[in-house]
Chain A
Amino acid sequence: MKAIERLLDRIIQRTNINLRELGYDVSPLVRKLIPPSQMTKFYAFYGISPYHALNLQFKHCNLSGSYFLGKCSVTNSLLYKSDIRGDELKKKADVFRYQDLEIQVDEDEEIEIEDSFLIKTLVHNFSHDPETLEKFFIRDTIASHYANIHGSPSDGCFLGPFATADLTTIRDCLVGTFSYIQAGEVSHLKIDPGTVWVRSSDTFNFLYRHPLERLNSYIHFTAGSTPGGIFIDFLEDRKKDFQKVFDVLKLEPSVPVPSSASLDRFAVIKPRTRIGENVLVSQRAYLQNAWLGKGVNAQEQSYIVNSRLEGNDITAHGAKIIEADLEKDVFVGFNSFLRGRPRSRLTIGKESIIMPHTIIDIRRPLTIPPGHLVWGLVTDERDLKGNSIALKEFARVDTRFSMGDMIFEGSGTEFVKAFQERIHHILEANGAFFNGRSKKGHAQQNQNISFNTIQPYPHGEKEGLYPTIIIRP
């Protein structure tokens, strides 16, 4: 086990060197997060399909319980139960548009993970940085539980639990617990826990910061202990269901799956779940008494419990929907936590946008009207009033606007447009618009993925390390 400990020391040191300007030492936070003995318990696995590239390279690393798809290399790193999804990487000769430029991609893009420690982290999408089109790199970076590194090359960063870097190149940054950043490119920044920041340079700037004393009951993380709070309790309560899924070698779907839909073999499906056409259910998603209409998607680490999603609703990575009814075309952003109660259901009107990292936790019935933008922490009608606005009204903002803890500057029209375009793109990429012949997406292409497993050295000096492995067609 010493090899893993030495590797962890190396990663901590390299991350700390990058974060020295912020005066931050990650060591007390991460050293005991995952006992090395845990890292030998689980196999890693990778997907093979005719629709995806297969080019994997692992060297001097531990990959415990992690999943890989596409073109990816991992060196000197520890990946614990992480999902490295390379199914949206750019391909050779693709044209990348950046501002007024059209840049041709020279070779197939690769996710390149070096000297990093990722814990239950999702890596997905592609590099949006015009300076590094062919490499979606993650270097000298530590990401804690349920972080999302989505289209965000990262160098020398620490991401706290449930933190998300989305479409942003981050260098030497500290992204606090449950913080979401989508800001193009940032460096040497300390983002406090509970920050939700969406910036498009020269167009708009949105900032919301969760009240920490209220956020702490949902998620808190201090040195020397593992993350805790309602989010973690919720996940721990369902952990055993996943163990069953990972222990069984071959698993047939427990519910009917239409031919245009995809139900990942590593998702948990509990009774009374219904899967509609063009539905995408990704690995580590959890469905219990979930009614999913046409074109709905449940992305990695999303949980849909006792809920009905009418159609073309997006449950982004890590989002949880409990005791809720969503009308059509609702977007629920990354890591959002929406919890109604059996007799106090949450209803979300059509075409509403629930911002990433929003918490809605109600004890009385609550209805979000159609076409609304919701953010922050909402526990009742009063909170909703202070943390939501009709999209049409928001689109009229052309200078600045603030409401409670949210401040906005720039063009509301552009902000709404950017979200709507992105939602359309997600649905398209996920195959929600498949018509039986064309417009295929992940829901249709991920149906017949085979999974192979790989294992580390079980004992000896290299215990826990995976041998150098190159996997190609």
Chain B
Amino acid sequence: MQYTVRDLMVPLSEYATVSVGSTLAEAVSALEKVQEDYEHAQYKHRAVLVLDSRQQVVGKLSQLDFLRSLEPQDEAIERIKDISKFGFSSKSIALQQERYHQKRPPSRDIFTRASKLKVEDFMQTPSEGEYVNEEMSLHTAVHQLITGRHLSLLVTREQKIVGVLRMSDVFAAAFHVMQEVKDTE
């Protein structure tokens, strides 16, 4: 079967979305809700799209972005992060971080604090290579996912975003074709 992007995408209406100005807690709730609504889906939703007042997609929040909100944000941790540019090994940096956390054990407060943070402070603005037209083939989508190392692409119809193409769905389709080819041989 010759898949197109349209065949594999999750329509925007089935995707978790929040508006600019929402908190991370609201974004998590939106994610939980689509999870419940589309329980039957083989793969779980892992990201939330952020919409502006004109309902245009302006950003995407991945699981990694949520986790970033739990990272301490102070001068000491910034200085530790800065060590990498001096050519120290990951192990040395990890040891510095461990020392930092031993001095300041994380408390439940960081979760309370993170839940109140705004989505726009953590979302990723889609780059040029993150858009794919719904008419494109599976191969083009695979190429874009690989070169951009993206977990999903935003699917466009003319100027509008109409869905999300997830790597998990592309993988499933590719696997399906592979099986078909194997069976016909």
Q: Spell out A's residues near B (CB within 8 Å).
A: 189, 192, 197, 199, 201, 205, 207, 209, 400, 402, 407, 409
Contact = CB atoms under 8 A, between A and B. Distances in A.
A402 B100 CA distance: 13
Interface of B: 79, 82-83, 85-89, 91-92, 95-96, 99
10 contacts: A189-B85, A197-B86, A205-B87, A207-B88, A400-B91, A400-B95, A402-B95, A407-B88, A407-B96, A409-B92
B164 to A, nearest CB: 33
B75 to A, nearest CB: 8
Contacts of B82: 192
Contacts of A192: 82
A400 B98 CA distance: 15
Contacts of A402: 92, 95-96, 99
A402 B79 CA distance: 14
B85 A409 contact: no
Identify whether the interface residues of A are mostly helix, strand, loop, or mixed: strand
A400 B88 CA distance: 10
A205 B99 CA distance: 19
A402 B83 CA distance: 13
Contacts of B89: 400, 409
B87 A199 contact: yes
A409 B95 CA distance: 12
Contacts of B88: 205, 207, 407, 409
Given A402-B95, A402-B99, 8 more contacts: A201-B87, A205-B87, A207-B86, A209-B79, A400-B89, A402-B96, A409-B89, A409-B92
B74 to A, nearest CB: 14
Contacts of B79: 209
Nearest to B91: A400
A400 B86 contact: no
A400 B92 contact: yes
A407 B83 contact: yes
Contacts of B91: 400
Closest 6 pairs (CB-CB, A-B): A409-B92, A400-B92, A207-B86, A409-B88, A197-B86, A205-B87
Contacts of A205: 86-88
A367 to B, nearest CB: 30
B87 A407 contact: no
A300 to B, nearest CB: 28
A199 B95 contact: no
Contacts of B83: 207, 407
A197 B85 CA distance: 11
Contacts of B96: 402, 407
Nearest to B99: A402
A432 B76 CA distance: 44
A290 B92 CA distance: 43
Contacts of B87: 199, 201, 205
A199, A201, A407: most-surrounded residue (chain B CB, <10 A): A407
Contacts of A207: 83, 86, 88
A153 to B, nearest CB: 20
